[in-house]
Amino acid sequence: EISETGVVDQVTKDLFIGGKWVAASGGRTFAVHDPSTGRGLCEVADASPADGKAALEAAVAAQRGFAAMPPRERGEILRRAYEILLARNEELALLMTLEMGKPLAEARGEVAYAAEFFRWFAEEAVRIDGGYAVAPNGNGRFLITKQPVGPTLLITPWNFPMAMGGRKLGPAIAAGCTVVIKPAEQTPLSMLALAGVLAEAGLPDGVLNVITTSDAGAVMEPLIRDGRARKLSFTGSTAVGRKLLEQCAEKVLRTSMELGGNAPFLVFDDADLDAAVDGAMQAKMRNIGEACTAANRFYVQRGVYDEFARRLTERMAAQKMGRGTEDGVVVGPLIDDDAVRKVRELVADAVERGARVLTGGSEVDGPGHFYPATVLVDVPRDARMSDEEIFGPVAPISVFDTEDEAVEAANDTEYGLVSYLFTNDVKRALRVSERLEAGMIGLNQGIVSNPAAPFGGIKQSGLGREGGTVGIEEFLETKYIAVSL
């Protein structure tokens, strides 16, 4: 029988360094909260900069040995992690819901999604390729091989606390890189549980080091500036990503940056409206809207504008709000009070500038950090939410007339992660897909995330791709050996 206190008690709340669970120096800890009640769940180790350094030392010490491990063995560790995650899905999902708030059904989906990254990269570990070529002048030969970049620093966010771990750890381990990983302070438990799974799967000591801390900046900056870690992979806000890129510049670390988004969602007159509304619900409400891929702006062509808004409102108004552990809940709590305050401010700003509320938009009494599913229409360009990530269950809709107007509005942002597009005209579908400035396009589809596909953004949404066949390349260097004959 799985109980809430049971799953929290099961997690080891220490730092994981060199294959051992150790307390933070001075025995310091910080509290983890349940966002649906605001109450404390437990305390976890609060790493100091010295603890961070110890984790880096362990990763550096393990690098040579791990790079020499046969790829098949690295793959089999990942494969075992995949199987253990599936076997423990139920308890891990409950743990995630408790610290993050998402509905249990979505947490189950995320554990499976995290597991899929381990399966995918288990298969990629044995497919790292090389080359042999004749030099153009015919006299020499080129040997081309791939090697792990070396020890890596990974930083993950709170919104997908286990999947973002899987998405970075899978390729790092497959490539033969050792790791220091730091989860978000709001959601350390999912990562600590994941570390336990990987240790059980047979990962050698020192390959994975987990540091939880309440002071990310103070602990990570010295590790980035140290220079022995050769790569930083970060998922989080553009503001923090920009700062980390500067820190990485000093020792020229390689970087992968998955940053913010401001996804447009275009619906043309010729779209299948049922599919568009289903896609809108997925793109908006997955993870309570707390996703960098969340549809942040809906642009709907005039012929279907009223009908789309009516149908979306009907669906949004029917979504059950509550604790993620309750049956049928879709609108769980937001991560904290600041998140609710931001959503409230953005809605008030849009309404002040002329938007109309079709459902939601009101305060929620009681404990926990809740905001109701909300639909706004006639949202003007100058509303703050046209430029800022809402990160909550709010769907702002605006009208357009021509295809050019829609594409211009969609691209009018510093971000370029994902764009959604609903049309049944194949020529328009391809024409608009090519013009949209985004790393990913959801074409008649409200979800783009898939471990087997290259996830990532352009413009200020980031650098590099995670997943797919390119995912492992982010953790590999190309070496070329010039051979004289």
Nearer residue to ligand ADP within complex by CB, 244 or 385 = 244
CA separation for the pair 381, 353 (Å, rounded): 9
Catalytic residue among 116, 124, 258, 389: 258
Give me the least distance between CB of 435 and ligand ADP, in Å please: 29
Place of tokens 């199987």: 83
Distance CA 207, CA 52 (A): 15
Residue 236 in contact with ligand ADP, rule: CB under 6 A? yes
Report d(CA 175, CA 169) in Å as an integer: 10
**Identity of residue 8:** V
Residue 38: alpha-carbon gap to chain centroid: 24
Query: Residue 15: CB partners within 8 Å, gap ≥ 6?
Result: 21, 22, 23, 24, 45, 47, 51, 55, 209, 210, 211, 212
Give 196 or 236: the residue with its C-beta nearer to ligand ADP.
236
The reply to whether 437 belongs to the active site is no
Kindly tell me which residue out of 12, 145, 147, 237 binds ligand ADP, with binding defined by CB under 6 A.
Answer: 237
Between 335 and 355, name the residue whose CB sits nearer to ligand ADP. Answer: 335
Smallest gap from Cβ 179 to ligand ADP, in A, equals 14
| Of the residues 217, 227, 367, 380, which one makes contact with ligand ADP according to CB under 6 A | 217
> Nearest Cα to 176, choosing from 80, 74, 82, 78?
74
Pick the stretch among 74-82, 144-152, 215-223, 269-277 that binds ligand ADP (CB under 6 A): 215-223
Count, residues near ligand ADP per rule CB under 6 A: 14
In DSSP notation, 266-283 reads: EE-TTS-HHHHHHHHHHH
| Closest residue to bound ligand ADP by CB | 236
191 contributes a contact to ligand ADP by CB under 6 A? no
Smallest separation, CB 416 to ligand ADP (Å): 18
- Residue 327 CB-density burial (10 A; 0-12 exposed, 13-18 middle, 19+ buried): exposed
Contact yes or no for 321/366 (Cβ under 8 A): no
Q: Is the Cβ of residue 244 or residue 277 nearer to ligand ADP in the bound state?
A: 244
Cβ atoms of residues 310 and 415 within 8 Å: no
CB 314 to ligand ADP: min, Å: 31
* Binding positions for ligand ADP, 341-400, rule CB under 6 A: none
Does 192 participate in binding ligand ADP (rule CB under 6 A)?
A: no
Residue number with CB closer to ligand ADP (211 or 407): 211
214 binds ligand ADP (CB under 6 A): no
Tell me how far apart the alpha carbons of residues 251 and 222 are, in angstroms, rounded to a whole number.
11
Q: Extract the tokens encoding 269.
A: 């007159």
Which is nearer to ligand ADP, 190 or 423 (by Cβ)? 190
What x-and-dash track marks residues 149-188 binding ligand ADP by CB under 6 A?
------xxx------------------------x-xx---
Q: Tokens for 324?
A: 């993620």
Beta strands per DSSP E along 402-475? 418-422, 440-443, 462-463
220 touches ligand ADP by CB under 6 A: yes
Smaller CB separation from ligand ADP, 11 or 410: 11
Query: What does R_g of the chain's alpha carbons equal in angstroms?
Result: 23
Residues marked active site are found at 258
Which residues are near ligand ADP by CB under 6 A? 155-157, 182, 184-185, 216-217, 220, 236-237, 240, 243-244
